[in-house]
Amino acid sequence: MKDSSIAPIAPPLDRIDLKILRLLQADGRLADAEIAKRVNTSAATCHRRTQRLFDEGYVRGVRAQVAPEKIGRGALVIVGVVLDRSTPESFAAFEAAASAMPKVLDCHLVAGDFDYFLKIRVRDMADFNRLHSATLIQLPGVRQTRTFFVMKEVVDNAPVDF
């Protein structure tokens, strides 16, 4: 019997696939014809390759990078979270609750002094204070939080280097 939990091995990426990935990372709105010109293939070949990269999960999606300050979310906050228990159930409950919070951009389970790091976008410090007191400290299993207000975004959402 075949184990369905084991992902099939994807064929290796060649230099053209890697060029396509780099181009899409830089500008996800590029048309197949433009990508084809830049990687020196036909539009049909480029379309098939691009579709395969999506189908096999190399590209998870394409989206616009919205300027947070333009939509009233100019303050970036990183929150370290310590849970009161380290059990699969407490992790699952916390992750479900954090995933349901619209202002949480990222939630990462980490090793070290914290259990999770949350990346949160808010309007300002007062907005975060309301979120913290009304929601964050009420999340399942939260024992402690430590907040870091980002003063300057030096590198944000950089492309993956390969």
DSSP 28: T
Domain count, the chain: 2
Three-state DSSP class for 77?
Answer: strand
Same domain, 99 and 45: no
For residue 155, which phi and psi values (nearest 5 degrees)? -135, 125
**Does any domain span residue 29?**
yes
pLDDT value, residue 10: 61
Mean of the pLDDT values across residues 128-137?
A: 96
Domain that holds residue 29: 15-55
Same domain, 30 and 76: no
pLDDT value, residue 157: 86
Show which of 7, 28, 55 is a domain's final residue.
55
Same domain, 74 and 48: no
Same domain, 91 and 51: no
Same domain, 74 and 32: no
**Does any domain span residue 159?**
no
Same domain, 24 and 93: no
Q: Is the pLDDT of residue 2 over 80?
A: no
Q: What is the pTM of this model?
A: 0.83
Element (H, E) at 145: strand 142-149
